[in-house]
Amino acid sequence: MTPSAFVRLARIAGRLGLALAAVVGLAGLFFALIVLTDGAGSGLLAWLVTFGGAAATALWRSRRRAGRRKLVPFLPVVVAAALTGSVCVPSVPTDRRYPADLPFVATQHWSLATGSRVAVYHHPPAPGSTRRARPLVYLHGGPVRGISVLDHRFLQHLARQGYDVYAYEQPGGGRSDLLPMDQYSISRSVRDLAAFIDHLNKGQVDILGFSAGAVILTRALAEPHAAARVHKAIIVEPGPADGPTAGITGHKGRPNAGGLAPAMSGPRATHVPRYAVAFGLMRLGVLSPDSRLVGQAEGANAFTAADLGSDTASAYCAKDAHRIPAEDTAANFSFSPAASLRIQQTIKDSPSIAPQLGRSGISAMLMIGECSSQIRQWATTILAEDAAIERTQYLPGVGHRMWNGLDDNNERAFAVVDAFLQNKPAPLPNYPTKSDIPEFLQAQR
């Protein structure tokens, strides 16, 4: 290569580098303005300010150029504008699209005294079964997620054994109506639970709370006005119940299928620039859940089961990585990421509930899975603080998702639940007890 050719090549490379740096810089400025404007106008305000200013600068730089060279300053602006423009354009409806009703259970809609309007499902005792004394209310995981088909199958299993099962989807999830974003909170979730039991109007109830539902149940046990409505409580695989617990770091259960299972198939909202940016910035905490970039309804419409693929896999033991069941159908799946983050933040901001939980007199049981993806101290903190926990059941061979339709897992989970509610001997050892907690954590079980 001759020296002159090398110089020309170096100049071209330098210009391309400057153009690329300009594109990256404009995109960075756009994202910064998204945060500063909280996504105003679906991100259009940030886009107009960024590229209006960039176009004016390019026009000023081109004023002394001739011919085609006048267009050169505009190229990075056009490229960056095209790349970021999709962030401002919705690809799903912006008003809420609710899932169609399930074919095997009727959807009722109850207006609660709190102002929430929730979708309710009733699985009555099967004909010929021995009817149980009290209704059983199921609080699903999430938060702000629909009740999966897999959950409904387990509730049907309970109903076949004589349980009168009621479940409702928390506001914003499934077929329940949305709330204004600033009304989502863990306290509102507890008030909704109490209002739901009042609306049921069947006296005290037994409650089975799973994951985020277990957090609602734990918080309810710490609040006398809600706890008075509860006969027995089953806390399954809880998340952090208050701010101090949410700040705990520690180990999880035995190895789970996270990172081992095949990637979940299907479309992903997080592969679309608009939603990847919105959900990513929300998760980082630099964009508020009630951001004007993507509205609550649009976000719920866009989010798919595949977006939770890694979380789903981590709910199963490593041995089950290649046989994880389909937990839900695409038509029934519902999850509101913004509302979920909002509730989680209110938990992180809440003070300790240890003093109130220590005064609880509601008979309770804790269930934890061997391969749980939850931090162990989230469960053991509740075990240590709730004086009324009568037994703990450590279920081998299952992860966070205990009833999953694999092998005899549904039957084993039912046996544990039924034994507690019917005051029968536990099918598994009472482990860990409060005194076992140090050894349990040290052994990383």
Higher pLDDT, 70 or 114: 114
| 160 has pLDDT over 90 | yes
pLDDT tens for each residue of 176-191: 999 999 999 999 999 9
Site of tokens 């089950």: 320
pLDDT in the model for residue 172:
96
pLDDT, residue 11, reads 61
What is the model's pLDDT at position 14?
Answer: 59
* Range scoring the smallest mean pLDDT among 58-72, 77-91, 184-198, 412-426: 58-72
Tens-place pLDDT, residues 91-129: 999 999 999 999 999 999 999 999 999 999 999 999 999
Nearest by Cα to 213 from 181, 237, 180, 197: 237
- Give the count of alpha carbons within 13 A of 242, CB side only: 16
How many angstroms separate the CA atoms of 285 and 338, rounded? 11
Q: Where are the beta strands (DSSP E) in 100-244?
A: 108-111, 117-123, 136-139, 165-168, 205-210, 230-236
272-288 tens-digit pLDDT? 999 999 999 999 999 99
Mean of the pLDDT values across residues 196-211?
A: 98
The rounded distance, in Å, linking the Cα atoms of 148 and 144 is 12
169 with 139: CB under 8 angstroms? no
The band of 74, judged by pLDDT with boundaries at 50, 70 and 90, is confident
Give 356-408 pLDDT, tens digit per residue: 999 999 999 999 999 999 999 999 999 999 989 999 999 999 999 999 999 99
What confidence tens digit (pLDDT) does each residue in 235-262 have? 999 999 999 999 998 889 999 999 999 9
205 pLDDT exceeds 70?
yes
pLDDT score at 151: 98
pLDDT value, residue 264: 85
Domain ranges of the chain: 3-88, 108-260+315-442
Q: What is the CATH number of domain 108-260+315-442?
A: 3.40.50.1820
Q: Which residues pair with 27 in a beta bridge?
A: none
**Strand, coil or helix: 392:** strand
Contact in structure between 107 and 134 (CB atoms under 8 Å): no
Helix axes 3-36, 44-61, angle to 10 degrees: 150
How much is the pLDDT for 75?
86
pLDDT band at 62 (very low <50, low <70, confident <90, very high): confident
Determine the distance from the C-alpha atom of residue 321 to the mean position of all C-alpha atoms in its chain, rounded to a whole number. 21
* Between residues 270 and 64, the one the model is more confident about: 270
Output the pLDDT for position 117.
98
Q: What is the mean pLDDT of the chain?
A: 93
Q: Is the pLDDT of residue 170 over 90?
A: yes
